[in-house]
Each structure stands twice: as structure tokens, then as C-alpha cells.
Structure 1
Amino acid sequence: MLQALGLGPAEEVIYTALLARPAASQELARQTGLEQAETARILLDLETRGLVAVATEAERGASDSADCEAGLQSARYRLTPPSVALAPFLVEQRNALHQAESAFSMLVERRFPSVVATTRWRSHHAQIRAEPAAAHRAQEVLRTA
């Protein structure tokens, strides 16, 4: 599901696990069945990409009982709001798509100039037909020309 965002299967598992609530890497490793080292690496990568952030004290809530027993104060991660995290990615993808469409149009125009001209004329003519008042005026202009 999140492959379109550039996330692999293991990254997607961690990301979706964080949908429920902030969690420490050890907790996520237990929850997802991934190795602790891989979970920590994925969290750092997701943090670098801006998809997750270290939770603040207020967001952390009570520490894991296992962490308390071990005397560890591990970082808990939370999702960055998708509207913040994904906006730059979506803009980048839209720009890439626009560039690809422009390059495609230029190639088609170079290879098939007569087809492009005919297509533009038909598109323009269809647009005029869609607007009756404009079509009527265009016909009058063509008759007097």
C-alpha cells in the first residue's frame, strides 16, 4: 500500500504499527517480529525522511514496564502528520509527472507534427462546440471570412 511512497515491506510494517500510538524501537521489534537492529535502522531512516519523529515527553506517556525494569529511557517514535510529512513528496512526484508529460509532448510533436496539429484543431473545435454561443459566433466569423 505504501510502496508508492517509497516504503518497502518492513518499513510499511513499522509505519502502520505506529498508526496506533507512539512506540519505542524495542516495543516495535516485539510487535512486528522484526530484529531490533533492523527496527532501529528503519526508524532512523523514517525519521530522516520526515515520516516519523521522536515523541515528546507528553506524547510518551508511561514507559514500557520492561524498559523501567531495565532502567532504560528509550526514545519513543510517533508518526509525523501525513499532511506535513507527505506534502513535499507529493509535490516532487507531481513535478516529476509534469516533466515527463512535457517531455512526452515534445517527442510526439517532433515525430508526428501533423498528427499533433490535427489533434489540437479537433480539441479546439470540440471545445468551441461545447460552448454554443461561442460556436455560433465562430461560425459567423468563418462565414464572413
Structure 2
Amino acid sequence: MLTALGLAEDEERLYRTLVTLPGPVTAAELQAGAGLPAAVVLGLLGSLTARGLVLCEAEGSPVEPAEPGDEGRHEPSGRDRYAVAPPAVALGALLRQQRDDLRSAETELVALAEAHRLATIGRTAGDVIEVITGTDAVRHRFAQVQHAARIEVRSMVVPNSTVVPPGENAAEPVSMARGVRYRVIVDRAFLEMPGGHQIIAEAIEEGEEVRFVDKVPIKMIIADRELGMLPLLQDQNTAPASVLVQASGVLDAMIALYEEVWQRARPVRVHADATVGIEAGDDLEDVDRQILMLLLAGLTDHAIAGSLALSARTVQRRIRHLMDLAGVTTRVQLGFHAARKDWA
């Protein structure tokens, strides 16, 4: 299982043995528990200590982790004692690094796939991506993208936009008058802005389809499958510098991200006082209601999985989905919400 984090099979075996022991132990005690040769145990302890997973107490010294660059200064010996570093901290760091590496690999994969596609059709990156700077230029392109739409405009909206302030998108009503569908995903923090509720209420009244998420991943706008626009710089959702993307693998990735976020976003309704309420998605599937009933009855995830002939991972994924629908962060909160909404 821990091989996914870069541990060899024997390293994992020794680490699991050390986790079960109450305190610092010698290599000989570990050897007896793990059933590995003494020389192998000493070598594995050296590598685990270097990774920060095991703390080494040299003779006459306190148990402490190896400092960066110190791994080679002390050779494990039979007189040393060893203790496991807190798994949540040590393995958590490895897991975060693995996730970061995977995200980097995914980004590189998209870039490589696009480079290959462009090479095969004789297009250059300049034919696909245009960098736009300056408030007026970005505002002009933003309007052009909407005017180019024939069927649909998809957008993700963040609070505190400065290039085109909320409620001042003049191209939108013109495009909607032509029959263009608008689907808009809004950052929940938008409602905390002055006039935020009124802007959303008016947009819905004009025909926009609006959904909310707790955090919009990135500001963007997409016209059909032909044009897209997003910020040029990382974490600069409100800065004017932008990128215009033509039909390409990059645009396909933008559309895929948008549709994924749209599926988990929550619809809204306008109250009589013109305030906006975020729906929690009351139309649950039968299997979700069954999971909720068993969860509220006190069953564990594994017991629920066995009762419904599902995998434990499926049960956990559906519970996470229910928490997202309810807009809560704990299972206790989910139970209260389910009771109020008569979900189970």
C-alpha cells in the first residue's frame, strides 16, 4: 500500500512493524518483529531515517530525525534505538509531494499533447494562444468572445472583478437577445459583496442559469467550443492580463474543467425579498438515502458497504458528495442537515 509513496516492500514491512511498537527499540528487536536479516534491517533503518519516517537515537543521544544533509553522518548500528515519526506528519508530507508531482505531470501531459497536436496539423502556439494586456484591450476581447458565441457562453465568476465589474457586462444582454444560452458558475464569496444578491437575482431574472461553488478554481469564459479566455498569471483572477485561447486541446481542457465544476455546483433560487439562496440538491438517489439511513443509525463505512453490496471507497465517495451537496464539512453537520431536509 505504501509503495505508492515510494517505499520498497521491505521498507514498508519494517515501518509497519515499528508503528506497532510502543517506544524506541533496537535493530535486533525490530529484526525479530519483522522477520528480516539483521544486515537488511540496518540498511532499511538508514533509508527510513533519511526519509524522515524513522527517528534515530544514537547511543547517548536523544531520539531525533535526521537533518537535511545529515543522512550520511551516522551509520545505523546495533546499539542505536529507533522510533517511528508520527505517520500523519511523515507520510502526509510524502503524500503531498506525490500529489504535487502528479499535478505537475498532468500539466506537462496537457502541454505535450497540445504540442504534438499542433505539430501534426502545422499550427504554432501563436495560432492558438494570444496574450492580451491592458484593461481596455482585455475588456474589448471579453466582449468579442461573447459576440462570437452562437449557441452558449460558459463562465466562471469571481468576486471583485475590476476589468468588467459585476453587473456591467454590456455584451451579455445583447448575446442573450440573440438566443445565446448563458451558464454561469459563481464563487460563493460573490454574495458577500455589496449588491451581490441583487446582481445575481437580476441575472437569473434575465435568463441566466446560475450555480454556486464554495471556491471558483479560476475565472474563465468560453464561447461554444471555439474561444476561451482566462487569466494569464497564476492566482491573478482579477488582474487585466489575460489569455485568449482558440479551439485546441487547451480549450478542450478548459471545457472539461468547467463541466466538472458545473456538475458539483449548486443551483440557486431567488427569495421574495430578492435575496439569493443556494439549493442543497434535495433530489437524492435511492442509494444515497440508504447510505444516509445507515450512517445515521451508527454503522461504519465498511458495515454500510457490506449491507448495500458496495465498496467502502464508493460509500466514502458518496458521503463526500452528500456533504458537498449540503454545504457542510463534517458528518455530524451532514446528519443535522439530513434531518432538516428529510433526506432519510
Question: Shared fold by TM > 0.5?
Answer: yes
- Whichever residue aligns with residue 114 of structure 1, its letter is A
1:77 aligns with 2:82: yes
Distance 1:85 1:132, change over 3 A: closer
| Counterpart Cα distance in 2 of 1:9 and 1:122 | 37
**TM-score scaled by structure 2?**
0.30
Q: 2:236 corresponds to which residue?
A: none
- Whichever residue aligns with residue 75 of structure 1, its letter is D
Displacement after TM superposition at 1:45 (Å): 1.0
Which segment is superposed worse, 34-43 or 18-27?
A: 18-27
1:1-145 matched pairs, under 5 angstroms: 1-21=1-21, 22=23, 23-54=25-56, 74-110=79-115, 111=117, 114=247, 116=249, 117=251, 120=254, 127=262, 131=267
SS at match of 2:19: coil
Contact 2:5 2:98 in 1 (8 A): no
Q: 1:138 corresponds to which residue?
A: none
Structure richer in strand, relative to its length? 2
Q: Deviating runs (4+, > 6 A) in structure 1?
A: none
- Whichever residue aligns with residue 42 of structure 2, its letter is A
| Counterpart Cα distance in 2 of 1:115 and 1:91 | 31
Which segment is superposed worse, 34-43 or 108-117?
A: 108-117
Q: Deviations over 1:7-45 (max 9, x none)?
A: 112111111111111321011112222111110111111
Distance 1:132 1:30, change over 3 A: closer
Structure richer in helix, relative to its length? 1
Displacement after TM superposition at 1:123 (Å): 6.5
| Counterpart Cα distance in 2 of 1:95 and 1:125 | 23
SS at match of 1:34: coil
Displacement after TM superposition at 1:101 (Å): 1.5
Displacement after TM superposition at 1:51 (Å): 0.4
| Counterpart Cα distance in 2 of 1:80 and 1:26 | 19
SS at match of 1:53: strand
Which structure is higher in RCO with an 8 Å CA cutoff and minimum separation 6?
1
User: Among the aligned pairs, what percent are the same residue?
Assistant: 31
Q: CA RMSD in A?
A: 3.6
